[in-house]
């Protein structure tokens, strides 16, 4: 009898441990704690909010949200303005924003989770999954000559933006940019887009330069082929469901359309229309509440409230510096400052000290930003929707990062 009871007790403990490890994340990711936990007092928050409000009053943006948190809770949630120019709903933590390139880190994390599972390797050729990249060529921008590449484009090159793929939007006058405009349509599926890109030359030998471009769009197509399922399903299984990111998707259901933030100037695509293209480079919509879950997971070494997305060592690998001396920084966003990891920017947090601690993250072209700073134990999320308009906004995603660091260090 004692042995039976002992076995039963052991079984119950194992069951409870299993439940704890796979516990559903909390309903709301935002548990408020005092801002002084981050070294920020009320007067500093008032100044920050006044600057945010000035951007609204100056007709730069309709509204914005700034959030700072860590694994203990959220110490800053400052909101100003409204969701759109014709919307009297105040911006809030459940407002839905087009996060554009803040999609890329999510794709990169999904990639590394598949590396952990043995579905792909960093040194796999892209052509293993998309045959059109098998006979890769490179264009000489000076002469227009197109010749076979010496280097093979790999999964790692896609993660580090060293693939040789660019984007016509950022290089419209280049020879390759014009070829993209004439031959690549984003109206098809991610795989069709990647196949079209694979038939064209690259801008430089893979692995020799850093250049922003379609790398993560191609990576999304690779994931679909490697997993044998659409990108939206893959992300749902590997990231969104485990983290409880139920408001993060490529397209917003009409039932949630009243929560979508819109810009004052210009027009952003209607994100309620379902299209074939799941853009790994910039197609997701999300909320501050949802993205806080993702950011906290990254700050916490790959785990969020019992849901493990990545191993800690994998996340540390992603934060490695991959722009070596042999890689050109000619087109690098930050010049000689900072570095690039497997899907994240790496920016020094001690001035220009390239050897010092770094934060990591990404920003979106529509005005959003997130950073994770393990050294100072916080993550930051800034949300706005901006498309053109007057220059010189008194607050934006650059200011958001700057004012929080200033407040923490005073």
Long-range Cβ contacts of 168-175 (<8 Å, 24+ apart): 170/212, 170/213, 171/203, 174/141, 174/203, 175/139, 175/141, 175/144
Q: Which of 221, 212, 222, 211 is nearest to 279 (CA)?
A: 221
What does pLDDT average to in each consecutive run of 10 residues of the chain (410 residues)? Answer: 42 38 72 97 98 98 98 98 96 98 98 98 98 98 97 98 94 92 93 98 98 97 98 98 98 98 96 97 98 98 97 97 94 92 94 85 97 98 96 97 95
pLDDT of residue 23: 56
Q: Which of 277, 286, 218 is nearest to 249 (CA)?
A: 286
Classify residue 2 by burial, with Cβ atoms within 10 Å: 0-12, 13-18, 19+: exposed
Classify residue 173 by burial, with Cβ atoms within 10 Å: 0-12, 13-18, 19+: exposed
Using DSSP's 3-state secondary structure scheme, residue 346 falls into strand
E-strand spans in 14-59?
none
Half-sphere exposure of 84 (CA within 13 A, CB side): 16
What is the helix (H) or strand (E) element at residue 361, kind and residue range?
strand 358-363
Measure the CA–CA gap between 404 and 388, rounded to whole angstroms: 25
Look at strands 369-373 and 378-383 and give their pairing: antiparallel
CA 334 to chain centre: 17
Q: Which of 263, 292, 310, 297 is nearest to 55 (CA)?
A: 263
- Cα distance from N-terminal residue to C-terminal residue, the chain: 65
pLDDT of residue 22: 46
pLDDT of residue 170: 84
pLDDT of residue 94: 97
Domain annotation for the chain: domains and CATH numbers: 35-110+229-409 (3.40.710.10), 119-227 (no CATH)
Classify residue 118 by burial, with Cβ atoms within 10 Å: 0-12, 13-18, 19+: exposed
Q: Which of 398, 394, 365 is nearest to 49 (CA)?
A: 394
Output phi, psi for 358, to 5 deg: -130, 150
Look at the chain and count its residues.
Answer: 410
pLDDT of residue 7: 45
pLDDT of residue 20: 38
Contact (CB, 8 A) for 60 and 393:
yes
């Amino acid at each position: 009898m004692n042995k039976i009871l002992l076995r039963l007790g052991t079984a119950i403990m194992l069951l409870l441990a299993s439940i704890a490890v796979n516990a559903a994340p909390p309903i709301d990711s935002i548990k408020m704690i005092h801002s002084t936990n981050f070294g920020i007092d009320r007067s500093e928050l008032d100044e920050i909010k006044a600057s945010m409000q000035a951007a609204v009053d100056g007709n730069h943006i309709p509204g914005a949200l700034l959030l700072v948190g860590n694994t203990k809770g959220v110490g800053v949630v400052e909101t100003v303005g409204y969701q759109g120019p014709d919307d009297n709903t105040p911006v809030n933590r459940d407002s839905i924003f087009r996060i554009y390139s803040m999609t890329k880190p999510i794709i990169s994390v999904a990639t590394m989770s598949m590396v952990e599972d043995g579905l792909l390797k960093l040194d796999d050729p892209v052509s293993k999954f998309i045959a059109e990249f098998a006979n890769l060529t490179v264009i000489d921008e000076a002469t227009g000559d197109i010749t076979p590449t010496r280097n093979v484009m790999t999964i790692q090159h896609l993660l580090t933006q060293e693939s040789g793929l660019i984007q016509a939007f950022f290089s419209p006058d280049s020879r390759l940019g014009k070829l993209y405009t004439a031959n690549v349509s984003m109206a098809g599926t991610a795989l069709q887009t990647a196949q079209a890109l694979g038939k064209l030359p690259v801008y430089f030998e893979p692995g020799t330069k850093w250049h922003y471009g379609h790398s993560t769009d191609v990576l999304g197509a690779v994931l679909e082929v490697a997993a044998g399922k659409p990108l939206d399903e893959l992300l749902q299984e590997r990231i969104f469901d485990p983290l409880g990111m139920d408001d993060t998707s490529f397209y917003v259901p009409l039932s949630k359309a009243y929560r979508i933030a819109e810009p004052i100037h210009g027009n952003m695509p209607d994100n309620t229309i379902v299209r074939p293209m799941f853009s790994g480079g910039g197609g997701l919509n999300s909320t501050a509440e949802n993205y806080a879950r993702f950011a906290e997971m990254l700050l916490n070494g790959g785990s969020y409230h019992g849901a493990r997305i990545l191993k800690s060592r994998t996340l540390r690998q992603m934060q490695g510096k991959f722009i070596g001396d042999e890689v050109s920084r000619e087109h690098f966003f930050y010049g000689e400052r900072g570095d690039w990891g497997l899907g994240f920017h790496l920016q020094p947090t001690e001035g220009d000290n390239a050897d010092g601690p770094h934060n990591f993250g990404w920003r979106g072209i529509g005005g959003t930003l997130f950073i994770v700073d393990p050294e100072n134990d916080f993550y930051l999320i800034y949300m706005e929707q901006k498309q053109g308009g007057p220059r010189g906004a008194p607050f934006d995603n650059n200011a958001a990062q700057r004012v929080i660091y200033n407040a923490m260090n005073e």
